[in-house]
Amino acid sequence: MTSPQDPFVPMMAQALLSCLSQAVSGSPGTPQHIGYRVGVEIAHDAGAFVDYCCEGIAYVALGDSWPSSQSFPEQDIVRQANTTCSPPGWGIQFRMGIIRCAPTGDVNFPPTDEEWNDAAIQNMWDARSLRAAQCCFRNWVVNEEDAMLGMSIVMERQVQSTPLGGCVERYATVAVQFPNCDC
């Protein structure tokens, strides 16, 4: 038995991944791994014999989804409670991020100032790449008249993680509205 394909979420995810890929490939230190990831906390180093973190990971992950209409990005609670109609639209959140090595030094010496400076400069490039990807995706949503006509997007904040296990992550989220074709 086959089920109907979701007409919106995969299309939006692919557009966002394309924007992120384009943004990181135009900056120094292009991550070697660019693709989708799953989960709330993205695995920083999923390889037992390969250091994915130091090779660099740029990802797009699916986040929360909620019914939303005129009050997007707010959840459509009152209208649902006061009517028998299905919600006219959904909100969905995508998270995109970049994971890199953090300087660790070795057993005898802490990281050098140069290593910290290089990591900080790369972090600034990654912040710029995420902003560029957000802007690219916003333009895609606004200009995708066939599927996304009248839909909204909210570019949310970037977040910087604390170095963990020799890895550090910077990510941003976007909330997107899309038409309800599910109920």
**For residue 23, is it within any domain?**
yes
- 103-139 per-position pLDDT tens digit: 888 889 999 999 999 999 999 999 999 999 999 999 9
Q: 63 in a domain, yes or no? A: yes
Burial 6-25 (b: 16+ CB within 10 A, else e): eebbebbbebbbebbbebbe
Could you tell me the residue range of the domain that residue 56 belongs to? 9-179
Residue 175 falls inside a structural domain: yes
Cα–Cα nearest to 10, from 73, 62, 53: 62
Q: What is the CATH number of the domain that holds 160?
A: 3.30.70.1700
Q: Please give the residue that has the higher pLDDT: either 159 or 71.
A: 159
| Number of domains, the chain | 1
Residue 4 forms part of a structural domain: no
Q: What is the DSSP letter of 44?
A: S
Q: Are 98 and 56 in contact (CB under 8 A)?
A: yes
